[in-house]
């Protein structure tokens, strides 16, 4: 059986904590998309870790952690993450990197950086980690699969043909130094030495695990709004952030995917550019940002301050629908305890009409939030483990959101730590 943990919004919903929770009961944890451009924050018995590419099962000796074929594998960043675990006293986890996973190349990072420079003010807010050029190359069939590292003459030929294309761009569009296929080849041989112990046939491993009745977890990065098809394109990422893509990027059979947990925060946050209808500004935003998350709303990978706002029921209803959510985990309800009143965005006003369906990007630009105001609870609920003991106003807030989004909220998280969790229903 496969369960997916995915984001209903713009990412940073607290998926890391929820995945960590479910990872305990899973035999296999699979990363199926994205790369080192975003991260989960996990606070466990070993301490606090920001995981970017490593699956969240790495803290449990009984799980096999799979870097799926849909991932953009940044080898130096991957090795750095492993080292951080080792330094933190975490025993060496069991990891399989799919032989079909593609490598994020040094020139992807360069290209991303040069392109952001070229676009200057019109940039899309890339983290400059090479993700967009990586996926462009993958679909243009210029990518390098991990298995290519073990076929040297084929690899050299591919590098020569990639460099011929890239060097036209680097010379004439970006006016930057040219790439040398031989230097890249040598670098890749270094990658091979580092990742060899982990490379394997992830697809067969996962399919066999399913046959043997094991539990697998698909771990999503970012959220619905960052999906290139259903998100706020072009202010999206370049890989699919949807549970359905787990069947491709994680190599699981679509029919094995039985449970989809969409994670959403009790307020909204987003990084990067693009319209964010319920965004707050000024002092109100500053206060929520500083109280949010475990140490303020700042990017786990980039340290960038996150944009924050009220809970957006329009975006979340859509986000859950697109994910095919079977249940919802609502995180960080403790953060709202300081507020006298809490607003929820229940509609968008577009051209004088109130709509409840999330619009396409050009219309999003015109949308004004329509709010319903609910009373706050004004007492500290951080760390509560019994849902029944939450103040009535907090439970009413959860009921209201559940009714708005139309998917059962089964988990309400009351703090960043593993045990700070309540179960509902």
Q: Catalytic positions, please? A: 12, 40
Min CB(220)–ligand GDP separation in Å: 8
The nearer residue to ligand GDP, 145 or 413, going by C-beta atoms, is: 413
DSSP string, 90-133: PPPPEEEEETTPEEPPHHHHHHHHHHHHHHGGG-----SSSHHH
97 vs 270, beta carbon nearer ligand GDP:
270
Binding segment toward ligand GDP, per CB under 6 A, in 96-104, 165-173, 202-210, 329-337: 329-337
Nearest approach, Cβ of 13 to ligand GDP (angstroms)?
4
d(CA 248, CA 11): 20
Nearest to 64 by CA among 93, 39, 87: 93
Comparing CB distances to ligand GDP, the nearer of 42 and 210 is 42
Q: Which long-range contacts (CB under 8 A, 24 or more apart) does 224-230 make?
A: 224/6, 224/7, 224/8, 224/9, 224/262, 224/318, 224/319, 224/320, 224/322, 224/323, 225/9, 225/10, 225/11, 225/270, 225/274, 225/315, 225/319, 226/7, 226/10, 226/11, 227/322, 230/322
Quote the least distance from Cβ 174 to ligand GDP, whole Å: 31
Instruction: Kindly tell me which of 70 and 347 has the beta carbon lying closer to ligand GDP.
Output: 70
Q: Determine if 293 is a binding residue for ligand GDP (CB under 6 A).
A: yes
d(CA 372, CA 310): 10
**Cβ nearer to ligand GDP, comparing 250 with 415:** 415
| Binding-site member from 105, 300, 370, 411 for ligand GDP (CB under 6 A) | 300
CA-closest candidate to residue 298, choices 338, 271, 333, 332: 271
Among 294, 349, 396, 402, binds ligand GDP (CB under 6 A): 294
Residue with tokens 């296999």: 28
Q: Is the dihedral of CA 75, 270, 324, 227 positive or negative?
A: negative
Size of the site for ligand GDP (CB under 6 A): 23
Which one, 59 or 348, has the nearer CB to ligand GDP? 59
Q: How far is the CB of 225 from ligand GDP (least distance, A)?
A: 13
Q: Does 334 bind ligand GDP (CB under 6 A)?
A: yes
* Binding mask of the shown chain, residues 161 to 200, with x at each position contacting ligand GDP by CB under 6 A: ----------------------------------------
Binds ligand GDP (CB under 6 A): choice among 3, 31, 40, 307: 40
332 part of the interface to ligand GDP, by CB under 6 A: yes
Question: Which of 20-28, 35-43, 101-109, 270-278 is the region at the interface with ligand GDP (rule: CB under 6 A)?
Answer: 35-43
Helix ranges, 196-243 (H) = 202-211
| Secondary structure of residue 1 in the 3-state scheme | coil
Local structure of 296: helix, strand or coil: coil
39/347 with CB nearer ligand GDP: 39
Per CB under 6 A, the segment of 26-34, 137-145, 235-243, 327-335 that binds ligand GDP is 327-335
> DSSP assignment, residue 256?
G
Site mask for ligand GDP (CB under 6 A), range 406-425, x = bound: -------xxxx---------
Cβ neighbors of 367 (< 8 A, separation 6 or more) are 275, 277, 348, 349, 350, 355, 359
CA 233 to chain centre: 16
From 335, 336, 339, 405, residue interacting with ligand GDP (rule: CB under 6 A): 335
Q: Helix 75-87 crosses helix 181-195 at what angle (to 10 degrees)? A: 30
Among residues 15 and 289, whose Cβ is nearest to ligand GDP? 15
Q: Is the CB of 108 or the CB of 291 nearer to ligand GDP?
A: 291
State in angstroms the smallest separation of the CB of 75 from ligand GDP.
Answer: 22
Distances, alpha carbon 232 to alpha carbons 124, 236, 281, 359, in Å: 11, 6, 21, 9
The least distance separating ligand GDP from the CB of residue 23, rounded to whole angstroms, comes to 12
Residues 4-23 contacting ligand GDP, CB under 6 A: 7, 11-17
Among positions 26, 33, 41, 236, the unique one binding ligand GDP when judged by CB under 6 A: 41
Burial class (CB within 10 angstroms; exposed 0-12, middle 13-18, buried 19+) of 6: buried
In the complex, minimum distance from the CB of residue 32 to ligand GDP, in angstroms, rounded to a whole number: 15
Chain Cα centroid distance, residue 305:
17
**Sign of the dihedral defined by the CA atoms of residues 268, 342, 403, 387, in that order:** positive
> For ligand GDP, which residue of 53, 74, 331, 422 counts as binding (CB under 6 A)?
331
Contacting positions for ligand GDP (CB under 6 A): 7, 11-17, 39-41, 43, 293-294, 300, 331-332, 334-335, 413-416
């Amino acid at each position: 059986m496969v369960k997916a943990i995915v984001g209903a919004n713009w990412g940073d919903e607290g998926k890391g904590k929820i995945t960590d929770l479910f990872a305990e009961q899973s035999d296999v944890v699979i990363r199926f998309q994205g790369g080192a451009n975003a991260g989960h924050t996990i606070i466990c018995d070993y301490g606090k870790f920001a995981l970017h590419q490593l699956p969240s099962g790495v803290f449990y000796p009984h799980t096999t952690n799979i870097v799926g074929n849909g991932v953009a594998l940044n080898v130096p960043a991957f090795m750095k993450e492993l080292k951080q675990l080792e330094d933190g006293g975490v025993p060496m986890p069991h990891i399989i990197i799919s032989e079909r996973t593609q490598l994020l190349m040094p020139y992807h990072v360069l290209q991303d950086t040069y392109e952001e420079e070229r676009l200057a003010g019109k940039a899309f807010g890339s983290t400059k980690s090479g993700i967009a050029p990586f996926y462009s190359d993958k679909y243009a069939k210029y990518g390098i699969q991990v298995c290519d590292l073990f076929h040297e003459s084929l690899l050299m030929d591919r590098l020569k043909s990639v460099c011929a294309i890239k060097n036209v761009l680097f010379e004439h569009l970006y006016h930057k130094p040219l790439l040398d296929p031989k230097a890249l080849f040598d670098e890749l041989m270094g990658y091979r030495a580092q990742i060899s112990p982990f490379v394997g046939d992830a697809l067969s491993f996962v399919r066999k695990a399913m046959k043997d009745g094991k539990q697998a977890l698909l771990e999503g990065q970012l959220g619905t709004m960052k999906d290139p098809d259903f998100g706020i394109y072009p202010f999206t990422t370049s890989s699919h952030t949807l549970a359905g893509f787990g069947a491709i990027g994680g190599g699981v059979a679509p029919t094995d995917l039985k449970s989809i947990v969409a994670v959403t925060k009790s307020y909204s946050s987003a990084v990067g550019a693009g319209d964010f209808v319920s965004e707050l500004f000024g002092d109100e935003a500053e206060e929520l940002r500083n109280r949010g998350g475990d140490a303020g709303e700042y990017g786990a990978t980039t340290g960038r301050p996150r944009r924050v706002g009220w809970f957006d029921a329009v975006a979340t209803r859509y986000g859950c629908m697109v994910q095919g959510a079977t249940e919802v985990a609502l995180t960080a309800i403790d953060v709202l305890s300081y507020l006298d009143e809490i607003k929820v965005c229940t509609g968008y006003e577009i051209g004088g009409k109130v709509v409840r369906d999330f619009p396409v990007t050009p219309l999003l630009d015109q949308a004004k939030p329509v709010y319903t105001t609910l009373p706050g609870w004004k007492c500290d609920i951080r760390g509560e483990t019994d849902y029944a003991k939450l103040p009535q106003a907090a439970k009413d807030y959860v009921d209201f959101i559940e009714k708005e989004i139309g998917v059962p909220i089964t988990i309400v998280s009351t703090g960043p730590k593993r045990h700070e969790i309540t179960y509902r229903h």
